[in-house]
Structure 1
Amino acid sequence: MVELVRAGRSPEELAREFEPSAQSIRTWVRQADLDDGRRADGLTSAEKDELARLRREVKILREEKEIPAQGRGFLRTGDGSAEMRFRLIDAENDHHGVSLLARVLGVSRQGYYAWAARQRRGPSARARRDAELTEKIRAHHATSDGIYGAPRIHADLREIDGIRIGRKRVARLMRAAGLSGVTRRKGCRTTIADRRAAAASDLVKRQFTAEEPNRLWTADITYVPTGQGFLYLAVVLDVFSRRIVGWAMAEHMRTELVTDALAMAIHQRQPSAGVIHHSDKGGQYTSVAFGQRCAQAGVRLSTGRTGTCFDNAITESFFASLECELLDRRAFRTRPEAERAVFAYIEGFYNPRRRHSANGQLSPAEYERRQAIKDVHQDGYAAA
């Protein structure tokens, strides 16, 4: 019932459809909101249970008609905070004197009155602000499908909501709300070198920077486990913005896989001659067919050393993000199911929306858009 109300159904509508009354449904929703931390104007179920236990113990003392000398220690150590004891006094002061309850519960009467005064004033301005920020943080965390940690949530708050707060405060509120980003898994080996093939020299030498788009592309292959066996993914990444400009998926790792990814990159970007394509020395990238396709398009080949992930660190970093943000969190029954999920991740999330630290927490598409605007302005100033 609670989930139906939260989904938009009214208590009155549900009462007509099911047996409980509308008021009962409202009561359930209110209690669920208290238990989930969505509101703080009442007691959670755990707090009510604790109050019930304390009331039973107070009743025992009352029935004995006197407070035993050791009464102040009747609560077990750590089993009732001062906050909980003050709540009990507040709930019971219509039936028993504050002095009696304070003495039984081992707290001071002055402490209770100070607590009660604070309750009347309500939460502080900072506490209210923290509650508001936590709701926004929850929303951005949910929008990222639970992927973002504090740095990217911090960027969302700044860019989307215009909220200027410290990253440490975001991290603190996320910890308090039980929210966290995803972490990465260990990689696997998909590079199988062809010792007979002549590989291109390393034109990059780990200098993964580009002043403009379509100057340096990196490429590699990874695998996606499914119930039907592995699905292989080849990508081409533009180092300038970390955008995936070409990709292909198949149930094999033959040369056609990387050729198709390259063809997509060329079709989408229409690069001028001289763009560098950097990869490892896998047999697919050192094959004659792949070399001929690159020569036809004016693409310069570059390869790093075999078995050294740092020579292709940019693409390895993308695969690590793909694995921890999608593959480690899903189980795919079929290859088509995995294909749809990978497509949605690349074209629906990573390229247009995922914030990238190398881009100043801008998505690859947004980074390219802003850089294009900046270049137009600079060209206008130069012409003037």
Structure 2
Amino acid sequence: MSRKRRVHSAAFKGKVALEALKELKPINVLASQYEIQPNQISTWKKQLKEGVTEIFSRKRGKAKDDSRKAEKRLYEEIGRLKMELDWLKKKSEPYSDPLDLIDSQHRSISIQRQCELLGISRSRYYYKPAVESELNLKLMRIIDEIYTDCPFYRSRRMVIELERRAFHVNRKRVQRLMRLMGLEAIYPKPKLTHRNIEHKVYPYLLRNILIDRPNQVWSTDITYIPMQSGFMYLTVIIDWYSRYILSWRISNTMDNDFCVEALDEALTHGLPDIFNTDQGVQFTSKQFTQRLTDVDVKISIDGKGRALDNIFVERLWRTVKYENIYLKDYRNGNELYQGLEEYFSFYNTRRPHQSLGYRSPEDIHYCS
């Protein structure tokens, strides 16, 4: 017998999308909590961002009749929402499971109505979506550790390394998890990363260039960050000469919004001559590149088959993970944010770098 398709209310979609937008919980944790697919949450999150922009861009000047009708509908909606809010205030707690809020013994509100108010269907009692298992999350953490040590390992060698650690998994499973984590072996090959063919192609500008001062070249990238329950993505913008971290952001989805936010913050510190990145769609998007061209910054994109074009960021990922991520084993996005905030402050101001003559990045960046 085929399973009945689940229909989610607008209130439920908005609630889940808003929680995803807060970036406090990984997508897979929210998916498990609300028993929906991770891709669905990512879609709702994107729709929420676009919807907010649309609200503030609408033009005024509608007819009075339309205004009255809209006002009437608004008051009706307010009344309905107030009734729902009064009931929810008595039951809800931050990040609680909606299923726990349902009172099967309630005399006035039926279970069906309670499900509607909570934005869930009755079939949710029985529905169990396919989310990443505990084993997969453990495998992803181990794969990340192996990749940090050996970023040139492809799926075949990754399978062998996992077998040495008593994890017998097939290659297809490893390939899927690596794609989910955004990991790809670093080695010369015809096509290193997938770019959007609609995005403008920029040349690689750093070949045979001497980097000898701060704000000459900035660079960025994204990496996978494992946690106790799920994972997040981290992006940073770094100055090549001083190794100074100009900005950073975390997100539970690998979209370009958190990359653009990091870029906006970095540009408050100054302007580089050249901004270098790989061919990922987050960095070649018009939304990202437009910020740079508007301030006359030259854009450099890593060439195909160039494994070491972004080597300074790759070295940073190894440092961050071994000195912080693997040691702290963060439980959620809030802990991760606070921990990285402390670590990057230490990294910039106190951590001595051998390549910098055992001085800190801050000393080099602002005193050179």
**TM-score per shorter chain, which class?**
0.3 to 0.5
TM-score w.r.t. length of structure 1: 0.45
- More relative contact order, 1 or 2 (CA 8 Å, 6+ apart): 2
TM-score w.r.t. length of structure 2: 0.46
* Higher radius of gyration, 1 or 2: 1
